[in-house]
Amino acid sequence: MLTVNIKYAFFLFLGLLFLVCACEPQKDSPIDRFDRKALLQNLADNLIRPAYQDVRNEANTFHTAVQAFSTNPSETTLADLQQQWVATYTQWQYVNAYNFGPAGEAGLSKSLVEEVGTFPVNTLKMEEAMAVGTWNLNDFNRDIRGFLAVEYLIFGINQNNSAVLSAFASNPFRSQYLLELSDNIRQRLNAVQSEWSGPYAVSFVENAGTDVGSSTAQLYNEFVRSYESLKNFKLGLPLGKRTGQTQSEPLLVEAVFSGQSLPMLKAHFTAIENIWYGRSSKIGQDGLGFRAYLAAVEGGNALIISTESQMTALRAALNAVPESPALSQQIVGNPAPVEALYIECSKMTRFFKSDLSSLLGIAITFSSSDGD
Amino acid sequence: MTALFNTLIRWLKTPISIAPLATLRVVLGAMLLFSTLRFVALGWVDDHYVCPDFHFTYFGFDWVRPLPALGMYVVHGLLIVSSLCVMLGLYHRLAALLQWLLFSYTELIDLTYYLNHYYFVSIVCGLLLLVPAHRAYSLDVLRRPQIRLSQTPRWTIFIFQLQLGIVYTYAGFWKINADWLLEALPLKIWVPANDHLPIIGGLFALKITPWLFSWAGMLYDLTIVAWLSWSRTRVWAYATVVFFHALTGIMFQIGVFPLVMMGATLVFFSEKWHQRLWQTLSQWTSRFFAKKTPKNALLGSKPLRFQRLMGALLVLHVTFQLLFPWRYLLYPGSVFWTEEGYRFSWRVMLMEKAGTATFYVKDSQTGREGEVLNGDFLNPHQEKQMAMQPDMVLQFAHFLKKHYAQKGISNPSVRAEVYVTLNGRPSQLLLDPHLDLTKISDNWSHKTWILDAAQQ
C-alpha cells in the first residue's frame, strides 16, 4: 500500500510538470503576453525601413549634387552640395542604431557605421592619397572614406568656400575622389536598403525570440551601442573625459568641418528616443517600442518612470547648449553646458545598458550561462 | 557506533558489477569531447582566452595564466585527444589525468566563465582518476586482458551518485527562498521571454507558469535523486530528467549542461541495466570487446595504507562538498547581493542580475580624472559579469591602476560607479562611488565596502 502511495505521489509530481504542456491556452486565460513580433514589425515598417529609404534617397540626391559640382564647380553648386550633405548626414543619424543584419559585419567588411560613419577622419592621409591619385575605399583605412571624409572635402578647414574651390581647381584628383567617396556611400546604403526591402525584413520580424541572435537582442545591443557612442565619442572624447586624455580635444567632435555637431547630436538623440517610444518619425505617432515592451512586464513601469525622467533631463541639457558657436568652439570657450549634458548622458547609461535587458530577459552575450 | 561504521565500510566495499563505471567513463569522455569540439568550433578559444587583454582570476589562483594562442589551441587539442582516449579507455590513467588537468586549467584561467556545471565536470574528472573505470569494456583491456575486471567495490560508483546527489539537493535547497517561491523570480522574467517557442510557447505566457516552474523546479531538484535511486520509479524519473533538462536547454542559453546531466544521471541505473547495455553494445562491437564475459575478478586488495589514503581523500572531498556551500552564513548581508559564498555552492539559475560599472581613474598629481571605456580591455561577457560582482569590480580596478601607472598617470586612484539590478528591481549602487578601490585588497573576510541592498 505504501509503495502504491509513493508511486501515486510521484505520478502526481510528474503530472505537475507535464500539466504545463498538456493544457491549451484559452482565449480568456490570464495571458499577459507581449507581442514581440508586433514590436519588430512596427520597428521594421515605421522606423527602420523608412529611415534607410530616406538616407538612401538623400545619398542619391547628394551624389547628383556631387556630379553637378564636379562638372561645374562654383559657389552655387558648392553651397547646394553643402546643404545636401547636412540633409543627408542628419538622416544618417536615424539609422545609426540599426547597425545589424544587412548593416552588420560581413566578411572583410565592417559594419555600416564603421564603413561610412567613422570619425575623426585622417585628413593627412586623404591629402596624400589625392596628391598621388590612388586610394582604396574597401580596405581598413576607414578614416579616409565615408560621410565625414566627404565633409572635409566640401567644407574644408575654417569653412572657407573659396579655399575649398581653389583646392578642387588645383588638383583634378580631388574631384574624382569626392565622386568616388560619394558613390561608395551611395552604394553601401543602397545595398542595405534593398536588403531591408527584401526578405530580410520578413526574417527580422520572424526571429522574435530573446536569445542572443534574435532580432530583439540585436536591436537592443545596437540601441545601447548607438547610445554609448553618442555619450562616449560624440561628447566624452572631445570634452577630454577619457582616462589618459590630459585636456579637451574639441577637434574630435562629429561633423567638425561643417560645424553641425550639435544638430547631429540632437538628431541622434531623437532617433534613440524614437526607438524607445516606437515612434515613427514620419507620422510622429508612438507605437510598440522598448517602452511598450517594458510596460507589459512586471516592474517595467518603475523603469519607464526613471528612464523618461532622465530623458527629460537629458533633453533639457541638450537644449541648454547654445546653438552657436559650433560645439567644438564651445568646448574651448564655454564648456559648462556641454559638461552638464555629458553628466546627464552618463546618468542614463545604466537604464539602457543593464536595467532594460535584465527586466526583459534579453540575452546580450553568446557565452553559456549556468544550467539549472 | 563502531558497528555501524563497519557496516557502512563493508557496504561500500561490496563488490558490484563494473559496468556502470564503464558507462560513466564513456559518457564523460564523450561529453568532454563534444563540449571541447563545440567550444573550439564556436571560436571561443580566441574569444575567451586569446583576445582579452585582461583575465579575472580566481582567489588564490592568480598564477594560472593563459598561454599564447598556439598554446591554448594545443591545450584544447590535447583535451580533445585525451577525452577521446578516456571514452575509448585507451591509456586511461594518463588520459584521465590529462583530461582533468587540462579541463581544470582552462576553467581556472578566467573567473568570467565560471559555470557550476563546469565545476561539476571538473570534479567528476578528478573522481574518475580514483576508480578503475578502464578495466572493463575498454581498449586498455583489449591491450592487456589481464587487467580486466568484472566487479568493483560499490564506493567507486557510489561516490558519483553521492556527488550528483549533493549537486541536485543543494540546487533544490537554495531555491527555497522568498523570491523564488513567493515571487516566482527570476522565472517571472525568464519564462515570458520564451513565449515565442513553438507548441509550449503559449503556455509560457500564462501568469501561473513561472510559479509552477519555480515550485516544480524546487521539488524536482530536491527529490529527483530519491526517485532515481528507487528502482520502481527510476525509468520514469529518468524520463523527467530528459524532459526537464531538454526544456531548460531550449529555454536558456546553457550550452552543454542538459547533456551533462542526462549523461551523468545514468549512473543511478542498476548494475543489470548497465550490463545489458554493454552486452548489447558488445554484440555490435564484438571485434573490440570479444564475446567472452569479463573475468569474474575483483579489484585486487590494495595495501592497507593505500586504502586508508583513498578513504581519507574521499571523506575530505565529501566533507568539503557538504560544508563549503554554507560559508555564506559567515558573511553578513544577502548572498545574492554580495556574492560572498555564492560560487562553488551549487546555486544555479537563482537570480537575474545585471550591472553597469563605470570606472574613473585619477592622476594624483594633476588631479585630472578620466572615465574608462571597459570595452577597451574586456570582451562583452567579461564586462557583463564584472559589472555585478564585487570581487571582479575590485580586480578590474587594480588592473586599471597598474595599466594607467604604466601609461604615465602618476599614482592613479580608481573609483567605480556600479549600479546593479537584482531580479528586475530598480538598480542601486553596489559600492560607495567615491571609494579608492586601489586601497582595498580582496580576501576571505567580509567586504565591508559593499553597500547594503536597500529593502525593496
Q: Which residues of B touch A7 (CB under 8 A)?
A: 232-233
HEC letters along chain B: CHHHHHHHHHHHHCEEECHHHHHHHHHHHHHHHHHHHHHHHCCHHHHHHHCCCCCCCCCCCCCCCCCCHHHHHHHHHHHHHHHHHHHHCCCHHHHHHHHHHHHHHHHHHCHHHCCHHHHHHHHHHHHHCCCCCCCCCCHHHHHCHHHCCCEEECHHHHHHHHHHHHHHHHHHHHCCCHHHHHCCCCHHHHCHHHCCCCCCHHHHCECCHHHHHHHHHHHHHHHHHHHHHCCCCHHHHHHHHHHHHHHHHHHCCCCCHHHHHHHHHHHHCCHHHHHHHHHHHHHHCHHHHCCCCCCCCECCCCCHHHHHHHHHHHHHHHHHHHHHHHHHHHCCCCHHHHCCCCCCCCCCCCCCEEEEEEEEEECCCCCCEEECCHHHCCCHHHHHHHCCCHHHHHHHHHHHHHHHHHCCCCCCEEEEEEEEEECCCCCEECECCCCCHHHCCCCCCCCCCECCCCCC
- Residue A108, pLDDT > 80, answer no
CA–CA gap between residue B396 and residue B56 (Å, rounded): 8
Is there a domain that residue A74 lies in?
yes
Check residue B286 and give its pLDDT. 65
Contact assignment for A363 to B253 by CB distance below 8 Å:
yes
Residue A355 to residue B354, Cβ atoms within 8 A? yes
Reported as half-sphere exposure (CB side, CA atoms, 13 A), residue A124 has a value of: 0
**Domain-embedded: residue A141:** yes
Contact (Cβ atoms closer than 8 angstroms) between residue A85 and residue A128? no
Question: Residue A21: what pLDDT?
Answer: 40
- Chain A residues whose CB is inside 8 A of the B261 CB are 371
Residues of B in contact with A362 (CB under 8 A): 193
Judged by CB atoms closer than 8 Å, whether chains meet at A25 and B258 is answered as no
Asked whether residue A4 is assigned to any structural domain, the reply reads: no
CB A223 within 8 A of CB A364: no
* pLDDT at residue A1 in the model: 39
**Does A12 reside within a domain?**
no
Q: Do B380 and A364 touch (CB under 8 A)?
A: yes
Chain A residues whose beta carbon lies within 8 Å of the beta carbon of residue B201: none
Q: How many CA atoms lie within 13 A of A325 on its CB side?
A: 12
pTM of the model: 0.92
| Predicted pLDDT of residue A368 | 76
B116–chain A Cβ distance below 8 A for any pair: yes
Best probe of the A interface among B190, B206, B389, by most A CBs < 10 A, is B206
Each residue of A122-173: pLDDT tens digit? 999 999 999 999 999 999 999 999 999 999 999 999 889 999 999 999 999 9
* Residue A26 confidence (pLDDT) above 50: no
Which residues of chain A are within 8 Å of residue B183 when distances are taken between CB atoms? none
Closest to B339 in 3D by CA, of B320, B353, B358: B353
Q: Does residue A2 belong to any structural domain of this protein?
A: no
pLDDT along chain B (456 residues), means of 10: 90 94 96 96 94 95 96 98 97 97 97 95 96 93 90 95 97 96 93 83 86 95 96 95 91 88 95 92 68 53 82 96 97 94 94 96 95 96 96 97 95 97 95 96 92 70
Domain carrying residue A98: 36-360
From the list B373, B380, B426, the residue facing A306 with the nearest CB is B426
Question: What is the number of structural domains in chain A?
Answer: 1
For residue A193, give the CATH number of its domain.
1.20.1420.20
Shortest CA gap A183–chain B (Å): 33
Task: Read off the pLDDT of each residue in A237-249 and give the average, rounded to a whole number.
Answer: 95
Interchain contact, B193 vs A349, CB within 8 Å: no
Q: B334 CB near a chain A CB, below 8 Å?
A: no
Question: Is residue B428 less than 8 Å (CB to CB) from chain A?
Answer: no
Q: Where are the domains of chain B?
A: 16-327, 352-439
Q: Do A299 and B171 touch (CB under 8 A)?
A: no
User: Mean pLDDT over all residues of chain A?
Assistant: 90
Dist. CA A81–CA A75, nearest whole Å: 10
B333 vs chain A: nearest CA distance in angstroms? 22
* Predicted local confidence at residue B296, as pLDDT: 53
Set of chain B residues whose Cβ sits within 8 Å of the Cβ of A241: 370-371
Give me the residue from A19, A242, A351 closest to B371, CB to CB.
A242
The alpha carbon of residue B169 is apart from the nearest alpha carbon of chain A, in Å, by 12
Contacts for A19 with CB less than 8 Å, ≥ 6 apart? B212
Q: Is residue A370 part of a domain?
A: no
Per the model's pLDDT, the better-predicted residue between B283 and A84 turns out to be A84
Does residue B246 sit at the A interface (CB-CB below 8 Å)? no
List CB contacts (< 8 A) between A209 and chain B.
Answer: 194, 196-197
Instruction: Compute the nearest-CA separation of B139 from chain A (Å).
Output: 33
pLDDT above 90 for A24: no
Tell me how crowded residue B420 is: count the other CB atoms within 10 A of its CB.
27
Query: Measured between alpha carbons, how far is A212 from A228 in angstroms, rounded to an integer?
Result: 20
